[in-house]
Structure 1
Amino acid sequence: MSRSIRALAAAAAALALVSACNSPSHGTDPGKPGDAAAITRGVTDTSVKVGGIVSMTSSSGYSKKDTDLGAKARYLRANAEGGIHGRKIDYIGAEDDGQDPGKNLAAARKLVQQDKVFAVAPMSSVTFTGADFLEQEKVPTFGWGTLPSFCGPKYIYGFNGCLVPSPGGTINQTWPEGIAKILGGAQGKSVAIVANDSDAGKFGIRTFQQGFASAGFKVAYAKASVPATAVPNDWSAYVKEILGSDEGQAPDAIVSVMQTPNNIGLFTALKRGGYKGVLSDPTDYDPGLLAKDATRQALDGVHVLLQFEPFESTSPKMAQFKADIKAASGGQDLPLNMHMLTGYMSADLFLAIAQKAGKDLTLTHFQNAAQSFSDTGTLVGDRAEPKGQKDSFGCGALVQLKNGAYEVSVPFTCHEPIPFK
């Protein structure tokens, strides 16, 4: 082949490459015309690749592994219904971060740099050190907005909004308003708030301290003092301090912003110490916990905060959720838990925004769709973006473990959030 013919061939190949990179069918970002690197990561003509980050394991034995099943269930139904404008969801599953900050960042890097996902949905862990990396790499990420990283960044979304806002945002009032209903009002009533000694725990204390005070409670105790790395063997010092926190008396309600192993230890010790008031936490809505007598006894009477419709609901949306979980588990009737719903609704919000983005799914189109997104009547109430990156969607319920079963103690409802200071 002559030099001139080789040159023409090379030029033709280069032109073909540029044309392919600029073709809308390859998911290019219209904001960067002519840029070969603008092909949208994880998007092909027929699929959208999505991964997750979930604490499947932890040093305490606590696991959120069913978050992965919940996401899988929602994606399976989406694919059965035709995917996103004809593109199937290629859900590659979730990376296990073991609740370890280093592993969380490593998982984020792997999903982006090796697996080349378009989005991370779900992200469910008590640590989110991978947040800055995912934001920098412009990866739409969806999870339970219980960490500050879900409040403010452009590409990170809480499935029920921002639950730990920065000043200028708002606070969800489901918990304090729900406890007030159980107690017959907040006036003259006191509350103790307990959390782990971690960034998340300290932020939770700051948030809920404001929320309960705004609802009319006297906040008698608010400390993030329980070790975050190991469950205490001896709770006596905590119990003594809490039970004398209201001017030498026990508070009317004690709320724990901790995970199940800590809650079991604390609530058992409080009951042995003679406490008869209201106990509440935001994590122990899990029928699997009822399998062990000791666990069931420790959590008996506890009111659990939910930020979604209870499984006891008879709504069509809840019936669909149950059917999807059963299908994803191969037809098994698994005990439902909040981790399943966390994964399911993280995937659901991603799918809703991606559908709105249209047939040409690019990062720019996705983000533009999110800027004017809203829908109603979901399992977490009414949703709206970018409102949800600053504020909670404001809805929730309380259920109580009673005689070996969960009962709705405060029905699912929405409250006007309060400003966070």
Structure 2
Amino acid sequence: MLRPIRTIAAAAAASALLLTTACNSASTGGEPNVRGGALTRGVTADSIKVGGIVSMTTASGYSKKDTDLGARARYDRANAEGGVGGRRIEYLGAEDDGQDPAKNLAAARKLVQQEKVFAIAPMSSVTFSGADFLEQQKVPTFGWGTLPSFCGPKHIYGFNGCLVPMPGGTLNQTWPEGLGTVLGGTKGKSVALIATDNDAGKFGIRTFTQGFTAAGYKVSYAKAAVPAVSTPNDWSAYTKEILRSNGGKAPDAVVSVMQTPYNIGLFTALKRAGFKGVISDPTDYDPGLLTKDATRQALDGVHVLLQFEPFESESPAMRQFKEDVKKASGGKDVPLNMHMLTGYMSADLFLSIAGKAGKDLTVESFQKAASSFSDTGTLVGDRALPKGQKQAFGCGALVQLRNGRYEVSSPFKCYPPIPFA
């Protein structure tokens, strides 16, 4: 609780304003951080309050719940090492938005207006309807930069940069170039791109069409045509178009910009139709998916895009990640997945900037620290801001599922971005 206000030296109107400000400040113990007479939301003398927004439950059954575990693992280590600027991270856990735009905005409002968080890290969902509200409220927010809201706003950051920039920005070429390693080159190779019929899918098709074309591919098919509300029972209409898209024959590669339940259906249908080319997606790097025979068979041979070091890496940063997750899991060796790393690296970028901001932590000091932030050797490569709010950090790898285990098919590497028009 805040310390009672014992003296009021100003006029009655000013007194009411002071009391209102005090009531709207967040703290769970100790004194709120004070700078120039103003209170910083979510910051006290000994704590920083942080929350998350994650799609833990969805209509399709797809879940990103382990994003919360990854974030908690990173915050736990930070607290074990003394916190940030002497302050303990009070992580409230993640609100479940159910992949629903209305719930996403409601979760953002709850965390800011009721819980009084200083920051939101992680934010992991295919919808980010709360972005405008968080930007207006000047809430530092961190997540996977796969949505346009991570590209441009001052207070919103992608842990691996901006992956879907506006015209005038740049495009990450990790996927086209990495897939070229698998195909033995990019020149003259044909690729079909498919996504769900929603804003994220349409934007993904737009950006990847430009990226693959710039890398030398022939884009034979590029549609955000799959219903976003539920997975189709019959994929034949899509597979027929795809398999005839390259001048009446199949393309060299099919790239899905969709989530796991959709990919399972599409990939199964492609294989049954006799497709022998390369299949790739950006979501199915998860040993937990291999527990069911049908899922394992659908994903066998698929090359999955990673925008971080593969779990198979033996780098010090990856060893630390595994150790932190194990501790947060109560000492259990839990199967690792990309959602854990999304949460972990969202928290890591927030902590790194907050540490640079120093003891006098306010939104202003945080933003100032972010404006000249950079570091190297992380699980997503070299990071730099504010560049990362306009372009991706540009690093990634591909892994292929073979015989029930993942193998690196294109090593972790950083590629120069291209202009996005």
Q: TM-score, normalised by structure 2?
A: 0.94
Q: Matches of residues 354-393 of structure 1 in structure 2 within 5 Å?
A: 354-393=354-393
- 1:28 maps onto 2:34 in alignment: yes
CA distance in 1, matches of 2:7, 2:138: 36
Q: Aligned residue for 2:190?
A: 190
Distance 2:226 2:10 in 1: 66
AA matched with 2:389: Q
2:145 paired with 1:162:
no
The runs of at least 4 aligned residues of structure 1 exceeding 4 Å deviation read: 12-18
- Once residues 67 and 126 of structure 2 are traced to their aligned partners in structure 1, the CA distance between those partners, rounded to angstroms, is 13
Q: Which runs of 5+ in 1 are unaligned?
A: 1-7
Alignment of 1:76-95 (within 5 A): 76-95=76-95
RMSD (Å), alpha carbons: 1.8
Residues 104-128 of structure 1 show CA distances to partners (whole Å, capped at 9, x for unaligned) of 0000000000000000000000000
Is 2:9 aligned against 1:11?
yes
Cα distance in 2 for residues equivalent to 1:358 and 1:47: 13
**Paired residue secondary structure (1:69):** helix
Once the 2 structures are TM-superposed, how far is the Cα of residue 181 of structure 1 from its aligned partner? Answer: 1.1
Aligned residue number for residue 174 of structure 2: 174
SS at 1:139 equivalent:
coil
Q: Distance in 1 between matches of 2:237 and 2:144?
A: 32
Alignment of structure 1 residues 76-225 onto 2, 5 Å = 76-225=76-225
Q: 1:90 to 1:192 in 2, by over 3 A?
A: same
Deviations 1:114-161 (A, max 9, x none): 000000000000000000000000000000000000000000000000
CA offsets 1:358-382 (integer angstroms, 9 cap, x no match): 1110110000000000000000000
Q: What is the rounded CA distance, in whole Å, between the counterparts of 1:11 and 1:326 in structure 2?
A: 54
Is structure 2 residue 252 aligned with structure 1 residue 252?
Answer: yes
Q: Structure 2 CA distance, aligned partners of 1:332 and 1:168?
A: 46
Cα separation, 1, equivalents of 2:275 and 2:7: 83
Give the match for residue 3 of structure 1. none
3-state DSSP class of the match of 1:61?
Answer: coil
Amino acid at match of 1:347: A
Post-superposition Cα deviations, 1:318-361, rounded to whole Å, max 9, x if no partner, equal 00000000000101110000000000000000000000001110
1: distance between equivalents of 2:155 and 2:34?
A: 18
Unaligned 5+ residue runs, structure 2?
A: 1-5, 23-30
Give 1:285's aligned residue.
Answer: 285
Match of 1:269 in 2: 269
**Per-residue CA shift, 1:38-65, capped at 9, x if unaligned?**
3110000000000000000000000000
Matches of 2:394 and 2:133 in 1, distance apart? 29
> Which entry has the higher C-alpha Rg, 1 or 2?
1
Instruction: Report the equivalent of 2:297.
Output: 297
Asked whether 1:335 is paired with 2:341, we answer: no
* Counterpart Cα distance in 2 of 1:9 and 1:113: 27
* Secondary structure of residue in 2 paired with 1:43: strand
- Structure 2 distance, partners of 1:87, 1:142, is 20
Match of 1:405 in 2: 405
* TM-score for both structures, normalised by structure 1: 0.94
Q: What amino acid is aligned across from residue 28 of structure 1 in structure 2?
A: V
- Measure, in 2, the Cα distance between the counterparts of 1:117 and 1:310: 32
Q: 2: CA distance between counterparts of 1:385 and 1:115?
A: 28
My pick for the range that moved more, 173-182 or 154-163, is 173-182
